[in-house]
Each structure stands twice: as structure tokens, then as C-alpha cells.
Amino acid sequence: MTAKLAIAAIQMVSAASVGPNLETARRLVREAAEGGATLVVLPEFFCLLGRKDTDKVDAKEPAGEGPIQQALADIAREAGVWLIGGTVPIASSEPRRIRNACLVLRPDGTTSARYDKVHLFGLKRDGLRFDESATIQPGSTPTVADLAGPDGAPWRVGLSVCYDLRFPEFYRALGTVDLIVVPSAFTYPTGQAHWEVLLRARAIENQCYVLAPAQGGTHENGRRTWGHTMLIDPWGEVLARLPEGEGVVAGTLSAERIAEVRAQLPALAHRTM
């Protein structure tokens, strides 16, 4: 029997204070677990979309401790799932900037891997202005997480966050993976223009599944995010999608499907550089 893994992505419309977001995350992860998911992924900054850019700096935690990280550990343990904590504001070497850290937790609540977002979003278009480098210190290391399904089968997960999606060479640096996760908070106009085509391209190029949990709706701070959390298969087919509002997008990874696509069109084996 081919290995399979039940997974789920959480879409949120995060508020401007941490407490309510943690409760929403707990409720939706529990819903995903009750639906059979072994791996659950939260969106970027699930814990806080503040009223100003510096709010996430004010909410920062030292690595390995703090209420947000403790809540993630508790949620993973209570639900009995592998949990990828979207992103969490972790203290950096600079007091006015944070690391935008994607944390992977085992079902016992311990941390398995951490990836710090490498590419920092900047936009100047139609009155919108974003400069993540003002409050975020970039990471430098592509990171994968290895986990085992209920049957003991191994799965390799490539970690990325939001703006990383625009840099295909970043995903090549991850090596061969079964799943890429892209927790995100895409703006509405950039999401409308580019989100789906970029996600499908990354799935097709890397011949793996892509799971992209998103922020999706109008937030307390007035910002509108694109949403459209989705699961995409190694051929680029969208298997599940949630356009807007909070909820769960679930599906199943199939090792047989990955192998089939790679055998039919062995593009990964044909690379010359």
C-alpha cells in the first residue's frame, strides 16, 4: 500500500491582539485534527496582524519561550498533530527588528525545526507601501523538516514563507521534497494577480505537493489579505481551495502520485544546473 499523509491548512483573518488569534488557531487546528489531519499548517503571523508595523516587534518572544510558542506547543500536543506554526515574531540580534520564524512542532509539542523567512516583502504600488526590512531581520538558510506519518513512512517538507514564493531558486536550494508549505499573508492586489500562478509553478517545477495557508479577509487594522488557501498536487492541479474567511482546507498526500509524476516527466532528473 502506498504511503499517504492527511494534511490541513488553516486560513485566518487575524486580529490586532494575540489572545483571540491563539484561541482561533486552537479551535481550527482541533477541527482539522478531528477531520483526520496528521499535519496542520497555520498562516503567516497567525498570532497577530497589528495596527502598525511595529506591533509585531512589541510582541516578540525569545526563542524557545513565551506565550505564543507555549500556545503552539500546547495546541500540537492537545490535537496530537504535527503543527507548523505559520510564523512567530522571535527576537533577533537587533532590538527594533524580529525574525519572522516558521516553527515545526512534533505531536508532543517539542520543536522539530525552525525556518527564518529569507526574502522580505517590499511594495510601492497604487498607494500601498510595504517594507518588511524595517521591522524584520532576514534569515539566510533554506530549511527542511522531516516527519513520519502514522504508518511510519517518512515525508520531507520544504519550509518557506509568503514572499519567498517569488524566488524559484530558493526552492531548488531545498533539494527534493514531498511537500512545500507556504504560510502567507499576501496583499489583496498582489494575490489577485500572482498567488495561484506562482503556487502552481512551484508545484510543477519541484514535482511535489504545495500547501499554502493564508490570511484571507479584511482585518481589524483595515488591511485586506487575498486568502485562497489551497492544496496543489505535483502536476499543478488545485485539489482544494478556500477563497476567503477563516476555515480549514484539507487533503491527502500520496507518495504514489509524486512518484508517478516524476516517472512520467522526469524533469528533476533532467536538470543540468
* Annotation marks residue 44 as catalytic: yes
Of 47, 102, 162, 208, the catalytic one is: 162
Find the radius of gyration of the CA atoms of the chain.
17
Cell numbers describing residue 105: 512542532
* Annotation marks residue 31 as catalytic: no
Nearest Cα residue to 87 out of 52, 56, 47 = 47
| DSSP strands (E only) in 54-205 | 82-84, 88-91, 98-105, 111-116, 122-125, 128-131, 143-148, 154-159, 179-181
Of 44, 61, 132, 244, the catalytic one is: 44
Nearest Cα residue to 158 out of 102, 88, 111, 229 = 102
* Annotation marks residue 117 as catalytic: yes
Euclidean distance between CA atoms 154 and 125, whole angstroms: 43
Of 61, 117, 132, 208, the catalytic one is: 117
How many helices (H) and strands (E) are present in the chain, helices listed first?
7, 15
Residues carrying an active site annotation: 44, 117, 162
